[in-house]
Amino acid sequence: MPCQAQLSIGSIPAPVKISGAQGGKVAGGNWSSAEIKGKVYTVMYVDPDEKDLNEHVERALKSENFPRDKYGSMAIVNSAATWKPDAVIRMILKSKQKDYPDSIYIMDQDKVLVKKWGLKDDSYHVLTFGRDGKLLYSKSGALNEQDIQQLKRIIRTNL
């Protein structure tokens, strides 16, 4: 089993790249964690079988209408955690892109972030990073109302 790094609040995670057979951006091209800076970013790392677990969080953040020049979002799909074919997942993500047009969608077909950052496999992990790339928030599993309020506060404070 690969060594699992633990992300700690206030640190910049080890650089990660998802490309080639590992996956990449659904719109095309490679993805690098170096893209998580310059804005406050919320990253949703999702097992497709758990996609509805934090849909209420997605809606709550969307309703805040954070300024797009200061806030961004990424959804990274852990497609290796499901039996669903990648083609079906891509189709679902293209549909979701209509609801969340400013989000960047990435496919992780090799559990890269599970292996490199120690994110929880077969789950739904919510992370928020500051403009400098430092981790501000991290929680896996279902977020409750208190978690959502804390997350929104962290985002607002760091915009």
**Residue 58: inside a domain, yes or no?**
yes
Confidence of residue 7 (pLDDT cuts 50, 70, 90): confident
- In CATH, what number is assigned to the domain containing residue 152? 3.40.30.10
**Residue 5: inside a domain, yes or no?**
no
Distance between CA atoms of residues 132 and 153, nearest Å: 18
Distance between CA atoms of residues 144 and 147, nearest Å: 5
Confidence of residue 13 (pLDDT cuts 50, 70, 90): very high
Enclosing domain of residue 148: 17-158
- Mean per-residue pLDDT for 35-53? 94
Q: Return the amino acid letter for 122.
A: D
Tens-place pLDDT, residues 62-95:
999 999 999 999 999 998 888 888 888 888 887 7
- Number of domains comprising the chain: 1
